[in-house]
C-alpha cells in the first residue's frame, strides 16, 4: 500500500511540475503575442506548438518508455496539457464573433487546419529521429497500439 501511495504521489508531483512549467510558458507566449493584434495569436501559437511537440514527443518516447512513466506524465499530461488550451480557443472565438465574425472563422480554421498539420509534422519528425519508415511506424500506431495513451 505504501509503495502504491508513493508511486501515486510521484505521478501527481510530476504532472504538477510539468503543468507549472507549461502554464508559465503559455502565459509568457500569450502575453508577448496577444498584444499585437485582434486575433489571439498567442493561443494559436501555443496550441500549434503543443500539437507538434506532443506528437513528436509521443512518437519518439512511447517507442522506448511506457505511457505511465513519470517523464511521460510530466511532459504529456503536465507540460503540454497546461501549455495548450481548448477552452481559450472557444472563449476567444466567441469574443471575436461578437464584432469580427470573419476573423473568428479564420482563427478557428487556422487553429484546426494547422493543428492537424503540426501533429502530422511532429509524427514525421519523430519517425525521422527514430529512423523508422512510414510503413514501419506512424504516430497513430504509437498512440493507439497496445501501450495506451493519456
Tens digits of pLDDT across the chain (150 residues): 566 888 889 999 999 999 999 999 999 999 999 887 788 899 999 999 999 999 888 888 877 766 668 888 899 889 999 999 888 888 889 989 999 999 999 999 999 999 999 999 998 888 888 887 654 555 655 455 444 333
- Look at residue 149 and tell me if it is in a domain: no
pLDDT for res 145? 47
pLDDT for res 139? 60
The structural domain count of the chain equals 1
- Look at residue 110 and tell me if it is in a domain: yes
Q: Is the Cα dihedral 64, 67, 68, 70 positive or negative?
A: positive
CA proximity to 55, closest of 142, 101, 122, 115? 122
pLDDT for res 140? 53
- 49 is in which domain, residue-wise? 2-144
Amino acid at each position: 500500500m505504501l509503495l502504491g501511495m508513493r508511486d501515486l504521489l510521484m505521478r501527481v508531483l510530476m504532472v504538477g511540475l510539468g503543468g507549472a512549467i507549461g502554464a508559465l510558458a503559455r502565459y509568457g507566449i500569450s502575453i508577448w503575442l496577444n498584444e499585437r493584434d485582434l486575433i489571439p495569436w498567442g493561443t494559436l501559437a501555443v496550441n500549434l506548438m503543443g500539437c507538434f511537440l506532443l506528437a513528436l514527443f509521443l512518437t519518439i518516447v512511447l517507442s522506448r518508455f511506457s505511457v505511465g512513466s513519470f517523464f511521460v506524465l510530466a511532459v504529456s499530461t503536465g507540460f503540454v496539457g497546461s501549455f495548450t488550451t481548448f477552452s481559450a480557443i472557444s472563449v476567444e472565438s466567441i469574443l471575436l464573433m461578437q464584432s469580427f465574425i470573419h476573423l473568428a472563422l479564420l482563427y478557428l480554421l487556422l487553429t484546426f487546419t494547422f493543428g492537424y498539420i503540426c501533429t502530422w509534422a511532429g509524427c514525421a519528425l519523430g519517425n525521422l529521429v527514430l529512423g523508422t519508415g512510414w510503413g514501419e511506424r506512424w504516430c497513430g500506431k504509437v498512440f493507439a497500439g497496445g501501450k495506451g495513451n493519456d
